[in-house]
Amino acid sequence: MSRIIFAWELGENHGHLWRLLPIALALQARGHDVVFGLKSMASAQRYLAPHGIRWFACPTPTNVTTLGREIATYADILATYGATQPDLLGGMVHAWQHLYATLQPDLVVIDHAPLALLAAKRAGIGTVQVGTGFTIPPTLSPAPCFRPWEASNAEAHAQTQAAVERNIQALFDSPQPLTTLLTADHTRLLTLPELDHYAPLRPPGTTFLGPIPEPDTGERVQWQQPDKPHVFVYLQVQPWLDTVLTALEASGAEVIAVIPDLSRETANRHRGLRLYRQPVRLLTLLAGCTLAITHAGHGTALNCLLAGVPMLLLPQHIEQLMVTERVAAMGAGLGILPAYVETGFRAVLHDLLSNPKYRDAARTIAARHHSVPRDRALEEVTGLMEDALTQRP
């Protein structure tokens, strides 16, 4: 039996956990001891405890110096996690090493956990990295800018890049490029090329495994009105939420909306919609769905594409904006920036419901990947990890 640590440091939503948990359970079923290092203790208690999986809280930075501007590169993301502060960076990397020394893992699996990766490299522990295009950029020397319209900040980006690279290189005896230091022994992209955040920069021949089958948890609900369009909604409460819900009520569609932080007052104002605060089983709903409206989270967008469902996307941060741009570029949906939701939502909703070109584009993508088994990525990744375990010194 081998011990495998699954590390997840960055990112707030459950997409990282949904990728890692099926892999961990598959390896646990094969007799391996799996342990998670993550930030969210509530998620650990809710999703890991029922499976008898142990976990620990990963090192988390405090008193991080702010950038004073929007993040625009992966180096900026590292800076917001303490990489421009030598003592803070060194303290967290060494904290990971102390955890490794106590737990004695045979392999570390990385999902958006750059400091856990650096610590594993320093400790000589094998690593496998999985994730989306955003969490695994094609290069970090220099890190590509995902806000190219902010040309005036180019010098600030370069200064941050230099500080991050200098401090990370100082952790190693032989300085290497940042791309090398933050590349695992094995890396697998769990996405589709159509949704790769860095598609124009990705080297030819890059392997995309597609999604890990996510736990289809939540309440089982069904469409009840076959003669109407079916719209699935997954949003957080935003200042424009009433506008969106009012437009949906007026659209004539049957709507199933999951809004975790929905207030009772808002729910009472929109009794014509089927509103839920807890998750519903997504995959069964997508099979009969006409349109999905989300914040452009990667996992939901990926499932929509594979089901041939067009999307209306309302991104809230840069990673979601990059997903929105990819979906729009392939013709499978449209996006609206936060400042324009109030004025533009109704017209965009009508366009997506009435114009079949978006549905046709989404179905074309789904057909392109129809022959790929849904469990292919899981089988390949778990096989890769077991091979890495047998090859260790």
Could you tell me the domains of the chain?
3-213+374-391 (3.40.50.2000), 230-368 (3.40.50.2000)
pTM over 0.85: yes
Q: Residue 274: its pLDDT value, please?
A: 95
What is the residue-averaged pLDDT of the chain? Answer: 94
Nearest one of 377, 330, 313 to 131, comparing CA atoms: 377
What confidence tens digit (pLDDT) does each residue in 132-185 have? 999 999 998 889 999 988 777 889 999 999 999 999 999 998 789 999 999 999
| pLDDT at residue 139, as a whole number | 92
Model confidence pLDDT, tens digit, residues 71-123: 999 999 999 999 999 999 999 999 999 999 999 999 999 999 999 999 999 99
Q: Cα–Cα distance between 40 and 146 in angstroms, integer?
A: 27
Q: Above 80 in pLDDT, residue 13?
A: no
191 closest CA partner among 278, 131, 246: 131
Mean pLDDT of 381-390: 94
